[in-house]
């Protein structure tokens, strides 16, 4: 077995095959396709598959941020990108593995090396998600706001990027109502265009009045998401690309979050993915 080390934490990689999971996925997806599916059914499956693809995983990522513009109808960086190298460990918990714990640590630039973020995401709407920031230079841990915080606090930026803690949360599917608006195409692929509206309690905590998701009908990955503020203005747009089959799971190896107010974007690229690891629970604590 391959041995991996994440900042002094030893993890034994289990022999992993995606065959069984792929079979279950195909059976579930086919059963949805064979009946009149609801937006809730689709989004539940998307969330389940996302968590399962991340469970017991160790990833290396590159986070790049810049001011953006357009050239020849293409989106480009208008200034030199700020680039950070990150490592993360994710593990699922709970009877149905619907809760997740995730720790992400900065490797580069050297001035930010060791800064870490620990997040607990709960599927239960009654439990608030939790996030802590570790400031290595000060040796201090600080709890920060999430998408579950009250309406007077803003969700925190993820390492100074256009992604926020709310943007990266999983679970809480039942906090929204869903409606399939139409069948359409994104990047030549057939998708469902699904509107998500937060319920009464969720609307007090989220920055978004509604979200529009474009879900790949074959791979159950959100290829694009549009996020609207309380004035029904699109303020952010998430684009997923480089969707690849990794150990039986469809994974978007590139996620680009565009802030349409500041004209800044951040790209999260998955450089290395390792799944099916034995992760010590003590590692995912404060």
Contact between 32 and 45 under an 8 Å Cβ cutoff? The reply is yes
Confidence of residue 29 (pLDDT cuts 50, 70, 90): low
Q: Tell me the CA distances in angstroms from 115 to 15, 32, 86, 108, 165, one per residue in order.
A: 31, 42, 10, 10, 16
Checking if the pLDDT of 162 tops 90, the result is yes
Alpha helices in the chain (DSSP H): 19-34, 39-54, 200-203
For 166-197, the pLDDT digits (tens) are 998 877 898 999 999 999 999 999 999 999 99
Domains within the chain, CATH numbers bracketed: 39-284 (2.50.20.10)
Contact between 130 and 143 under an 8 Å Cβ cutoff? The reply is yes
Residue 184, SS3? strand
For 110-128, the pLDDT digits (tens) are 999 999 999 998 888 888 8
Residue with tokens 């990150």: 86
pTM of the full structure = 0.83
Q: What is the pLDDT of residue 55?
A: 81
**DSSP for residue 149:** S
Beta bridge partners of 84: 63
For 56-93, the pLDDT digits (tens) are 889 999 999 999 999 888 999 999 999 999 999 999 88
Q: Tell me the CA distances in angstroms from 113 to 49, 87, 120, 170, one per residue in order.
A: 31, 11, 22, 26
Stretch 254-278: mean pLDDT? 94
User: Could you tell me which residue, 33 or 163, shows the higher pLDDT?
Assistant: 163
Confidence of residue 150 (pLDDT cuts 50, 70, 90): low
Q: What is the pLDDT of residue 11?
A: 44
């Amino acid at each position: 077995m391959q041995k991996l080390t994440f900042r002094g934490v030893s993890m034994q990689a289990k022999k992993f095959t995606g065959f069984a999971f792929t079979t279950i996925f195909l059976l579930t997806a086919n059963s949805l396709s064979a009946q009149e599916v609801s937006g809730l059914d689709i989004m539940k499956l998307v969330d389940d598959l996302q968590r399962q693809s991340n469970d017991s995983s160790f990833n290396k990522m590159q986070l790049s941020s810049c001011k953006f513009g357009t050239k020849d109808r293409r989106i480009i960086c208008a200034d030199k990108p700020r680039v950070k190298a990150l490592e993360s460990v994710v593990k699922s918990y709970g009877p149905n593995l619907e809760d997740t714990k995730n720790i992400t640590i900065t490797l580069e630039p050297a001035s930010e090396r060791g800064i870490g973020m620990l997040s607990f995401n709960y599927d239960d709407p009654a439990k608030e998600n939790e996030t802590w920031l570790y400031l290595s230079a000060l040796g201090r841990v600080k709890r920060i706001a999430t998408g579950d915080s009250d309406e007077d606090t803003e969700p925190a930026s993820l390492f100074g990027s256009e992604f926020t803690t709310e943007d990266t949360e999983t679970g809480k599917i039942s906090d929204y109502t869903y409606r399939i608006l139409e069948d359409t195409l994104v990047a030549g692929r057939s998708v469902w265009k699904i509107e998500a509206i937060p319920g009464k309690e969720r609307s007090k905590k989220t920055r978004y009045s509604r979200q529009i998701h474009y879900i790949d009908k074959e791979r159950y990955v959100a290829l694009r998401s549009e996020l609207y503020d309380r004035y029904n203005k699109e303020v952010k747009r998430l684009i997923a690309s480089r969707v690849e089959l990794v150990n039986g799971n469809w994974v978007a190896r590139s996620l680009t979050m565009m802030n349409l107010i500041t004209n800044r974007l951040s790209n999260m690229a998955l450089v290395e993915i390792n799944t099916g690891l034995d992760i010590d629970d003590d590692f995912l604590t404060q």
